[in-house]
A = this chain, B = another copy of it.
Amino acid sequence: MQTPASFLGSCRKKLEPFNKYEPYNSTYEQIWKNLIKNEIDSFFYIGGNDSMDTVLNLSKFLNFVAPNQFNVIGIPKTIDNDLQVTDHCPGFASAAKFVATTFLELERDCKVYKKPAVTIVEVMGRDAGWLTAASGLSRLNGGTGPNLIYCCERKFSLNEFLNDVETELSCNSNEGILISVSEGVTIDNETIDRTNQMNYFDEFGHKQKSGVAQYLQKIVANQIKCKTRSLELSLLQRSASHLASQVDLNEAFNIGRFAVEKGYVEKLTGKMTTIERIQNQPYLIKFGTVDVELVANKVKKIPSDMLPEKPDINNELISYLEPLIQGQPNIVYENGLPVHLNLNSLI
C-alpha cells in the first residue's frame, strides 16, 4: 500500500516548482496538519495555471491520506486570462480596462507630434496575448489605437516587424506610431540573443521574459533612425485597482461565493470554478465547475480565428473583450487618493 511519503514521492516532479522555496516533502503534509488543527474541511486556492496544479495535487494528496474529508476548490484569477475551459478569468477584465485606458492616453502623447517616432509598449502575457489584445480596445471611443498589435500567438519575424513599422510610419505621414507587444513574443523563434532580458525565474520556475520592447526599440532606433521609445506597463497593469472593471469585481465576488457553495456546501473536490458566457448582448454569464486536471498547467491562447493576418485584432476578439471592461466602481477617495481596505484593521 502506498504511504503518504511514497505518494508524495510519486508527485515529486510535479510538486518541485511549488516547493522551490520550502522543504519539498513537508508542504502538503503541513497543510493537512493545519487543516486538522484548525478544523477546516474546505480549501480554496485562487490563481492561474500553476495554482491549479497545486489544487490538483493537494486534492489528490488529501484524498489519499483522508478520503472524503476535505474539499479543495480552485478559483481562477489571472490577468493573463489563459486558463482553459473558463470563458475568462477574474482579474483579467480590470487589467484589460487599465491597458485599454492607458493606450487611449498614450495616443494623446505619442501621436501629436509631426515627427516620425515609434513608441513600443510591452504588455504582460507570458504565453497568451489576451492582455496585449486589450490595447486595441482603445479604439472603442474613437481613438486610433495601436498601429500594430503583436500578440505572442503570432509568429514574430524581425524583418516583417521592421517592414510593418516602416509602412506605418509612411502611411501616417511620418507622425508618431504606437505599438503594443506581448512580453512573451518569440522573436524569429528565439534565435536572437536577448541580452537585454532579465534572467531571473519566478516562484514557479518560469523564466521572466520582460525586455522585449526595449530589445525591439534598440533595433528600430538602429535600423529606422527615428526617435524611438519603449515602455513596459509592468506591475501597474496588475495593480491599478482605481481602474477596476465593475463587471470584473462582481464576477470575482460571485465566483468566490459559488466556490464556497461547491466546496463547503456540496463537498466537491479537485474542481475549478468556471465562467461560461451565455450571450454577449446583453452580456450574460453563468458559473460552473470543471475537473481541475483539465486546467492545471495548460494554457488557453487566443484562437487563430480571433487574430487577423496582419498584426492586429479582429472584431470577434473585440466583441469578446468589450463586455468585460464595463462599469466603474465607486472608488472612495480621501486626501486625494483612493482608500485601500486594510484587512488587519478589521481583525
Contacts and interface: CB of A to CB of B under 8 A. Distances in A.
A35 interface: no
Contact of A337 (B100, B231, B342): B100
Contact of A236 (B21, B100, B105, B238): B105
A221 B200 contact: yes
A267 interface: no
A250 interface: no
Nearest to A326: B336
A209 to B, nearest CB: 13
The interface residues of chain A, by DSSP majority, are classed as mixed
A242 B236 CA distance: 15
B109 A239 contact: yes
A340 B221 CA distance: 31
A265 interface: no
A253 interface: no
A327 B322 contact: no
A101 interface: yes
Nearest to A331: B328
B322 A236 contact: no
Interface in A285-326: 322, 325-326
Given A104-B337, A142-B342, A334-B141, A236 B235 contact: no
A172 to B, nearest CB: 16
A141 B242 contact: no
Contacts of A141: 334-335, 337-340
How many copies, total? Answer: 2
A241 B138 CA distance: 14
Contacts of A326: 335-336
B109 A235 contact: yes
A106 interface: yes
A106 B239 CA distance: 6
Given A104-B337, A342-B142, A235 B242 contact: no
Contact of A242 (B105, B115, B231): B105
B236 A340 contact: no
A125 to B, nearest CB: 17
Highest count of chain B CB atoms <10 Å: which of A119, A200, A221, A243: A243
Given A229-B235, A231-B235, A137 B101 contact: no
A217 to B, nearest CB: 8
Interface of A: 21, 97, 100-102, 104-106, 108-110, 115, 119, 137-138, 140-143, 200, 221, 227-229, 231-236, 238-243, 245, 322, 325-328, 333-340, 342
